[in-house]
Structure 1
């Protein structure tokens, strides 16, 4: 059996190779990190849109339509690009999906940290350490999304329409997860009660 550090090195070596190539071609670490974020964002949204398009096409609801996006040159957009700040200015279903997933990750991470720190549940930390770390990394990756949602006031911030959609979808996702946790805890309480009898 291979030691766990072998798997870590196998996973990390392509990242270090791409970082080296990016820096060799006069890029910056911030630019490389944004490129990694964009790759993750594209994978997340393209799989969802591809799945949704396939299901809708099979059911005969929608034909695929090619939508042309605006490609207008703007000084503010150019300035933000040179400063390596992510642009969220135009409303898009992609941003709604990304921000909803980012909010759910933030809620999950906050819940895990609260459970481990406040309730001092070391068992949760021992059994779910890798999941907590993964959730924390996803929160770090999504920092520009949180900035676009809450802190930026320029034209590159998330549009207001996205805020409403994100709030709704995040609330639905959070409610579903709370119901699931409640049902699982009730089931385990029921099993414990039955085992006592």
Structure 2
């Protein structure tokens, strides 16, 4: 704010920081494992940096730009949906009374808070997956893949516990 930025710009910077940490460490880990297994080095595709008038307008309005399909977006969307599914499952179980809300609140208060904060941070990602109609939205293929991966993770967790 002191340097002339806006609150929304700061919040978007926090989101990008989180997204960079999630994807960069995961890609580095996968690349290292693949390298040690003797497979070829992974190649990163350079994306176009040309911006049209619509992109510039969204930038001025501080709307996050996604607009493409890459593994990074699938990972981010999967993790965001997994947080949403887990939080919704907790809320549904708490409302239905199948879990003792007081007991869970005492033992898992910070986990619930962290999950809620991650949902709020990922609101533009949910919007880009399902609500936006402009060219900056995420492709429907990313939405389908991420819902499938997150659903599979939820189903696997039901069998483990």
Runs of 5+ unmatched residues, structure 1:
1-22, 182-197
Matched, 1:83 2:68: no
Query: How far is 1:159 from its partner?
Result: 0.8
Alpha-carbon RMSD across the aligned residues, in angstroms, is 1.2
Larger Rg: 1
Higher helix share: 1
The aligned counterpart of 1:54 is 32
Distance 1:113 1:164 in 2: 24
Are the equivalent residues in 1 in contact too, given 2:67–2:135 (CA < 8 A)? yes
The aligned counterpart of 2:130 is 150
**Post-superposition CA distance 1:34-84 (Å, at most 9, x none):** 000000000000010000000001111121324211111211111111111
The aligned counterpart of 1:33 is 11
Distance 1:95 1:155 in 2: 15
Are the equivalent residues in 1 in contact too, given 2:35–2:41 (CA < 8 A)? yes
**Post-superposition CA distance 1:17-43 (Å, at most 9, x none):** xxxxxx111000000000000000000
- Once the two structures are superposed, the pairs formed by residues 162-173 of structure 1 within 5 Å of their partners are 162-173=142-153
The aligned counterpart of 1:45 is 23
- For normalisation by structure 1, the TM-score amounts to 0.77
Q: How many residues align?
A: 159
- 1:72 corresponds, among 50, 67, 74, to 50
- 2:117 corresponds, among 137, 151, 158, to 137
- Once the two structures are superposed, the pairs formed by residues 166-185 of structure 1 within 5 Å of their partners are 166-181=146-161
- SS at structure 2 position matched to 1:86: coil
Distance 2:58 2:146 in 1: 24
Query: How far is 1:109 from its partner?
Result: 0.7
Are the equivalent residues in 1 in contact too, given 2:65–2:136 (CA < 8 A)? yes
Are the equivalent residues in 1 in contact too, given 2:129–2:140 (CA < 8 A)? no
- For normalisation by structure 2, the TM-score amounts to 0.94
Distance 1:136 1:66 in 2: 33
